[in-house]
Amino acid sequence: MKLIAKQRQFLKGLGHSLKPVIQVGKDGLSESVLSSISKALDDHELIKINVLETADLDRKIAPQLLASAVNAEVVQTLGRKILLFRRNKKKPKIQLPDTPELKDTREK
């Protein structure tokens, strides 16, 4: 799912008060870290991740690596903090503005 600017801005507002739920450390993107991120996205849809200085990741490419590994969208990157979003297909929790599949299709 590709986010439009309005949705990204909305998610940034929601993510502002979030604390990081996952920390990526010296082990980098190990299977256990990726499974923790995936589970957190299933539970919360929007999560903040902290990439520690000890992590062996380039902070410019880390957000895209994380997002592609867990099939999520990068909402925002601020320094070593990454905000990721992935819609829960079974039970969506966050109502995004102007979501095409949620618009009323009766208008023609």
Q: Look at residue 101 and tell me whether its pLDDT is greater than 70.
A: no
Residue-by-residue DSSP string for 24-82: E-TT-S-HHHHHHHHHHHHHHSEEEEEE-TTS-S-TTTHHHHHHHHHT-EEEEEETTEE
Q: Look at residue 106 and tell me whether its pLDDT is greater than 50.
A: no
Condensed to tens digits (0 to 9), the pLDDT of residues 39-85 reads 999 999 999 999 999 988 888 888 999 999 999 999 999 999 999 99
Task: Report the alpha-carbon distance of residue 49 to residue 82 in Å, rounded.
Answer: 5
Task: Report the alpha-carbon distance of residue 99 to residue 20 in Å, rounded.
Answer: 26
Determine the pLDDT at residue 36: 95
Task: Report the alpha-carbon distance of residue 19 to residue 44 in Å, rounded.
Answer: 12
Please state the pTM of the whole predicted model: 0.85
Condensed to tens digits (0 to 9), the pLDDT of residues 2-30 reads 899 999 999 999 999 999 999 999 988 89
Residue 41 near residue 18, CB atoms below 8 Å = no
The CATH T-level fold of domain 5-86 is Translation Initiation Factor IF3 (3.30.110)
Write down the domain spans for the chain: 5-86
Determine the pLDDT at residue 56: 86
